[in-house]
């Protein structure tokens, strides 16, 4: 790129400098712009496809390497959180990506720079461009800089969403570098209507208990209880006994 790089601030926010600036320009080109401008032969749709795959791999590799005891289902849910439209649009907004989008007149006049779908698509396009320009190492660098803080911020919120065990795992790893330890304390009731009671500990702290019709459900309820436990939340900035 020349000294008059129009995307310098965007690259600084992203944490990656492109060797082939044309790739970044393509990543921010909406299909409506191509349709309305003669001589523009391509848009960001193919880069979206590539960026989606590269981002998914970066998220999966991070989760696999960071959380050795996390179950497949929990990793799948956290990967989904990292790559869904809401997260993509949130990161795109943080980057100020909307102001750079190349849009057709109709799309521009109808609020296209702020539209969630446009921001998410362009963000995937940018990741696809990063992959083509610098390979997976570049994608992983951008992921660590921009995605991990957003994922952790979501985990810190009061609403753990559909994956309380994953949320508790993230918190325990972030603050104390340990994994929650689940134990089934008892099972009761007739064979056709069993009730399991689970306990989750962080180090030696009994963080929460829960009941459910199977072990997984009981553990999920225990994780929910831990996330709401005032004692656990109070100790987030300290180290529970039994952790290193």
Least Cα distance to 37 among 127, 90, 98, 108 occurs for: 108
Within 10 A of 4 (CB to CB), how many other CB atoms are there?
Answer: 6
Indicate the burial class of 62 (C-beta count within 10 angstroms; 0-12, 13-18, 19 or more): buried
Rounded-to-integer distance, Cα 130 and Cα 17, Å: 9
Let me know if 162 is a catalytic residue. no
Rounded-to-integer distance, Cα 143 and Cα 123, Å: 12
Let me know if 94 is a catalytic residue. no
Which one of 43, 48, 74, 124 is the catalytic residue?
A: 124
Sign of the CA dihedral running 195, 200, 206, 210: negative
Distances from the Cα of 32 to the Cαs of 17, 25, 37, 43, in angstroms?
A: 27, 15, 9, 9
213 near 201, Cβ under 8 Å?
no
The residues assigned a catalytic role are: 52, 124
């Amino acid at each position: 790129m020349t000294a008059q790089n129009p995307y310098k601030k965007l690259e600084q926010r992203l944490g990656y400098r492109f060797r082939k600036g044309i790739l970044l320009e393509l990543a921010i080109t909406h299909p409506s712009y191509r349709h309305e401008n003669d001589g523009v032969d391509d848009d960001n749709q193919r880069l979206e496809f590539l960026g989606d795959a590269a981002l998914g791999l970066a998220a999966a590799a991070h989760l696999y390497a960071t959380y050795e005891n996390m179950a497949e289902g929990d990793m799948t849910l956290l990967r989904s959180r990292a790559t869904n439209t809401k997260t993509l649009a949130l990161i795109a907004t943080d980057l100020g990506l909307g102001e750079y989008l190349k849009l057709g007149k109709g799309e521009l006049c109808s609020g296209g720079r702020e539209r969630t779908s446009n921001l998410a698509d362009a963000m995937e396009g940018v990741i696809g461009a990063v992959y083509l320009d610098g390979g997976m190492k570049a994608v992983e660098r951008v992921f660590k800089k921009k995605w991990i803080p957003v994922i952790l911020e979501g985990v810190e919120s009061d609403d753990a969403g559909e994956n309380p065990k994953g949320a508790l795992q993230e918190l325990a790893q972030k603050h104390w570098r340990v994994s929650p330890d689940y134990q089934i304390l008892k099972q009761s009731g007739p064979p056709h209507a069993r009730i399991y009671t689970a306990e989750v500990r962080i180090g030696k702290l009994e963080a929460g208990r829960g009941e459910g019709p199977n072990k997984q459900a009981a553990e999920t309820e225990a994780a929910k209880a831990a996330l709401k436990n005032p004692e656990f939340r109070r100790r987030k900035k300290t180290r529970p006994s039994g952790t290193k």
